[in-house]
Amino acid sequence: MQLEATSIDIGTSRPLVLLNTIDAEELGAHPLDRVLLSWAGETMTGIVKRTDELVEPGTVGVTEPLHHVHGAVGVTLAGTPPSVRCVRKKLDDVELERAELERIVRDIHEHRLSDVELSAFVSAVYTNGLSLAETKHLTEAMGDIGQRLQWDRPVVADKHSIGGVAGNCVTPIMVAIVTAAGVTMPKTSSRAVTSPAGTADVMEVLSNVEFSIAEIERIVEETNGCLVWGGGVDLSPVDDEIIRAENPLSIDPDGLLMASVLSKKQSAGSSHVVIDIPYGEGAKVESLVAARGLADDFRRVGDYLEMDVSCAITHGTDPIGRGVGPVLEARDVLAVLEGDGPESLRLKSLRLAEMLLEHCDVDAAATEILESGRALEQFRSIVAAQGGDPDVESTDLEPGEESTTVRVDRAGVTSRVDNRTLSDLARRAGAPRDSGAGLVVHRTVGDEVEPGDRLYTIHAETESKLEEAVSFAEGLEPVRVRSKADALVERR
């Protein structure tokens, strides 16, 4: 069938093809079938959507991944990719071979799987899990696709947190300490997906974060490190597609989590990696036993990839810093580097930095580097190399002007600080899109409080978003206060 191609402005990463129902009936194409597009000696596969109105008969609508298709196009039915059979095997709890996982990864990258098929793969892994062998092969396959950073240095340090803890912005502090000690640490980080701020969002308050590979190499050559957005350099791009399928389901199965993290580290050229695994009520990993099992598997997959992976199992029941949201977390980071700031953020940053330096076999004291001001000086150098103001201070950073403070209405003890609810509340206030939005947590678990004491302050950039956050918080207890007796029972 010959049709005339027309571009359709629909935001999607999938190569969707819109066929008028009349043409689809003549072709025998059903929704989610695949068709082969042929034009000017080129071919491309698209996934069918049928419509009565968006495109006229005789026309084929192509979405953004196919916008280069133009003019007269031959449209024929195409078969189902072989990787779909592999997905069905995983749904049946059959262990997949290396070649089958490579086929799935390749087809995800080339957009041959529909959203339904990709979701089926993610759901199959969530339900049936991945064996250690499958995780190793999947990680390797994901790391082999996309760009790679390469360094002519024997030791390249890196760090990752599996997330789930509010205000956990230790990475900029760690990078400053580790690079000041002479270790190369080109840190590529993510933007927030479901949290109020990713490391890239926090750094964007202070400097640019989007750079090409050549620009990253220049920054690292100048400063020994960087803090940039990984999405700008196409490292392990299949990981981004898998995360896109996981988010609506709010799932992150261990096998895919490990493949996601370590394929990114492999692509970034990392040789020594510390993985932060917070556990506890409200964190991604709720028990110490589960955290230890995940740490063991991380190390095994790291050994397979010839990467030195060490894991820090940390408490994840409280926020780490006081601020939650890009500006507020950036303020905490600078305050710690300046010699002040939240003690919990300072201590965790030092612990992880010491751990990473030890595994890199570097004889340097993280505490001395921080307290001497060397870390602050190094951080300012990185900010300057990334186009930011090296003289910025924590007191220069102001959150959104619209704010309200929630106070204690009875005497007692703070018995719980709910990370998940705090993160949801900060997002309702506008974070991370509004960099000044978020909240400041004034209490930690175990604090004694009196009526009128502050629990948390919500910041927003607009009055409407502040009202939305306040409405969301009604009936919730992001910071729970109980009588001393009740709090003791809870802790037991």
Domain boundaries, the chain: 2-78, 83-129, 157-394, 402-491
Pick the CATH number of 157-394 from 3.40.50.300, 3.30.950.10, 3.30.1460.30, 3.40.1030.10: 3.40.1030.10
Of 414, 418, 487, the residue nearest 445 (C-alpha): 414
Distance CA 285, CA 295 (A): 11
Bridge partners for 304 per DSSP: none
What digits encode the pLDDT tens for the residues 226-282? 999 987 788 888 998 898 888 888 788 999 999 999 999 999 999 999 999 999 877
Q: Round to whole Å and give the CA distance between 306 and 303.
A: 5
Q: Looking at residue 441, what is its pLDDT?
A: 95
Which residues lie across from 272 on neighbouring strands?
157, 308
* Residues in the chain with pLDDT values less than 70: 484-492
- So what's the pLDDT on residue 484? 67
**Confidence (pLDDT) at 490:** 55
Predicted pLDDT at 77:
92
Fold classification of 83-129 (topology level)? 1.20.970
pTM above 0.85, yes or no: yes
Specify the pLDDT at position 372: 97
Q: Which residues are catalytic?
A: 252
- CA–CA gap between residue 311 and residue 356 (Å, rounded): 10
* Cα separation, 350 vs 354, whole angstroms: 6
What whole-number distance in Å separates Cα of residue 158 and Cα of residue 187? 6
Q: Report the topology of domain 402-491.
A: Aldehyde Oxidoreductase; domain 3 (3.90.1170)
Structural contact between residues 416 and 445, judged by C-beta atoms closer than 8 angstroms: yes
CA gap 348, 370 in Å, rounded: 13
CATH of the domain spanning 2-78, picked from 3.20.20.10, 3.40.309.10, 2.40.40.20, 3.40.50.720: 2.40.40.20
